[in-house]
Amino acid sequence: MRYTNDHFLKKKKQGEKTAVLTAYDASFAQLMENAGVEIILVGDSLGMVVQGNDSTIPVSIDDMIYHTQCVSHQTQQVLIMADLPFATTYNTELCYHNAARLLAEGGAQMVKIEGGQIMLDTVQFLTQRSIPVCAHLGLLPQSVYRLGGYKVQGKKENDAQQILDDAIAMEAVGADMILLECVPADLAKKITQAVQIPVIGIGAGKDCDAQVLVSYDMLGMSLNGSPSFSHNFLADLAKSDGEISIKSAFEAYVNAVQSGIFPH
């Protein structure tokens, strides 16, 4: 039986942290589940770390369904969250069609959608039709060309307030989770306390309910280096007397998140 959002709501209330990682294939997904990862994100980051593109923009819905299938085939318990890629959410009907495909064909249990106020009606449409949604706020990789690069969002007071308002509004229309990417830690803490639903952070400080990293980053495998907020858990094992393996690196990450050691 796979985890449902009720499991993560309970963990939030109890102050327990959740470890999340990205996976794009069956082998990594199975290792993660065995290591204690409770949510796997099939991210459109595959466009960069798997396909070799310089952004997530070229990733198609068919790419996402294929990789989500790979992850779902060899896992039993983890909640599988899948990204809705670029240009698949520009109207409500199209978004619903693509989200339904990720669940029905890909085997996902939740979809992740980038965007704030402009996506409220769409998120409400999906959740009212039994499609669980994680709202992605802060740095939006699919908007990287408009944003002018991969930059921290919400540093200015009015921008921070907008992200906070968006998070509260997303919860109000039925979003099941929120993912905050590259926002100041104090803003992420404020948002996590302001909403009842679980908040996943990446480059957003230690006070979120969960942490996610791109698996290739935390293994030191990314083609163009890892972001400053990431950490190479595989390299840590090489400096210790423990077993050096990918599964051990995943286990070290899970322990670090659950104990509050990561992020620093």
Q: Exposed, middle or buried: residue 132 (CB in 10 Å: 0-12, 13-18, 19+)?
A: buried
The dihedral built from the CA positions of residue 136, 139, 141 and 142, taken in this order, carries a sign that is positive
Cα–Cα distance measured from residue 27 to residue 215, given in angstroms and rounded to the nearest whole number? 13
Count CB-CB contacts under 10 A for residue 58. Answer: 15
Q: Which helix (H) or strand (E) holds 103?
A: helix 92-104
Tokens (6 digits) for 1: 């039986």
Cα–Cα distance measured from residue 187 to residue 2, given in angstroms and rounded to the nearest whole number? 31
Catalytic residues: 181
How many Å is the Cα radius of gyration of the chain? Answer: 17
Spell out the SS3 assignment of 176-197.
CEEEEECCCHHHHHHHHHHCCC
Q: Taking Cα atoms as reference points, which of 71, 73, 81, 70 lies closest to residue 109?
A: 81
Cα–Cα distance measured from residue 4 to residue 130, given in angstroms and rounded to the nearest whole number? 13
Tokens (6 digits) for 203: 């480059």
Token pair 């899970």 is found at 254
